[in-house]
Structure 1
Amino acid sequence: MDVTTEEQKVPGKVPDLDILRIMQMIPHRYPMLLIDKIVDIITGESCTGIKNVTINEPFFTGHFPQKPVMPGVMIVEAMAQTSAVLVMHTLGESAEGKLVYFMSIEEAKFRRPVVPGDRVEIKVQKIQNRRNVWKFKGEAWVDGQLCAEATYAAMIVMDS
């Protein structure tokens, strides 16, 4: 009897990554680790990061205490971290823990505030990569609504 799951039928699709695995792959830690889980990974192509936003996020003490809103730059950083996990997953264990530096951020648009209680789905798609430079399109969604989007490039520092 064949017990192949739908996930196993998609070429390049792998199991979800939990927070402990994410922490093995990228060097970010509290308060700058902005993703809780990675799902829908297609190696070398795309994945979705999950960020569960709570009132306990350190940026909410000043942005803004009366009406907390997740800063747009933190949403873009969450996109970058999601992309970094995809890159590390694609490159393999030898790349894990390496630093990833922004090179450019383009076409950033913020369409809806992200607030405590939101579950943000951060969808990233590789546009291209040449050697250690990768370019991505990222989108942040809450409840089926597009909240933010950006195109950005990053460099993986392999000698760190």
Structure 2
Amino acid sequence: MDIYKILTKLPHRYPFLLVDRVLEIDKGKTIKALKNVTINEPFFQGHFPYRPVMPGVLMLEALAQAAALLAFDAMESAATDDTVYYFAGMEGVRFKRPVEPGDQLILEVALLRMKAGIFKFQSRALVDGDVAVEAELTCAIRKIA
């Protein structure tokens, strides 16, 4: 799935779209996607000027966006103007290595279960085969009132 297809599935846009390409997807089971991390990312100006490091919460957000693509694919749908895809929880979050400009973040997400618009995922992001972050994510799709 290239960036043009991703843009039809996710509501996120610059500077908050954190998935550049989907490499593999096994419908309703797993997704493997990537985020190219460049020095042009706006967060690097302040995090940190002397040693740029991708904020951990943005690594988790990238995983959640990959998870959303997996969820939408499983439901054969996309985000719409009347729905929002929320984080509902994170468990077992572990940061293992920093992510810096020039790294390619490989996002791996597995769907553990889904029921009534609530999804549970096992996820991890890797750089050069090394785990940068891992977490169990809970996300929910809700209609906007």
Same fold (TM over 0.5): yes
Partner in structure 2 of residue 35 of structure 1 = 19
Contact 2:84 2:144 in 1 (8 A): no
1:57 is aligned to 2:41 = yes
Whether 1:153 and 2:142 are equivalent positions in the alignment is: no
Q: Does 1:96 align with 2:72?
A: no
Q: CA deviation at 1:96?
A: 3.5
Q: CA deviation at 1:158?
A: 4.4
Match of 1:105 in 2: 90
Check whether the contact 1:26–1:99 (CA below 8 A) recurs between aligned residues. no
> Who wins on radius of gyration, i.e. which is larger?
1
- 8 Å Cα contact 1:135/1:152 also seen in 2: yes
In structure 1, C-alpha distance between the alignment counterparts of 2:79 and 2:53, rounded to whole Å: 32
* d(CA) in 1 for partners of 2:98, 2:130: 11
Percent identical pairs in the alignment equals 42
Query: Do 1:133 and 1:155's aligned partners in 2 also have CA atoms closer than 8 Å?
Result: yes
The total of aligned residue pairs comes to 143
Aligned partner of residue 138 in structure 1, secondary structure: strand
TM-score by length of 2: 0.94
Q: Distance in 2 between the 1:138 and 1:106 partners?
A: 11
Residue 121 (structure 2) aligns with: 136
Per-residue Cα deviation, 1:110-154 (whole angstroms, up to 9, x for no partner): 000000000110000011111200000110001011110011101
Q: Secondary structure at the match of 1:116?
A: coil
In structure 2, C-alpha distance between the alignment counterparts of 1:53 and 1:159, rounded to whole Å:
32
8 Å Cα contact 1:53/1:120 also seen in 2 = yes
Which has a greater percent of strand? 2
Runs of at least 5 residues in structure 1 that lack an aligned partner in the other structure:
1-16
Higher RCO (CA-CA < 8 Å; seq separation 6+): 2
Flag as ranges the 4+ runs of structure 1 deviating above 3 A: 95-98
Alpha-carbon displacement from aligned partner over 1:55-103 (angstroms, at most 9, x marks no partner): 000100000011000000000000000000111111113x433421011
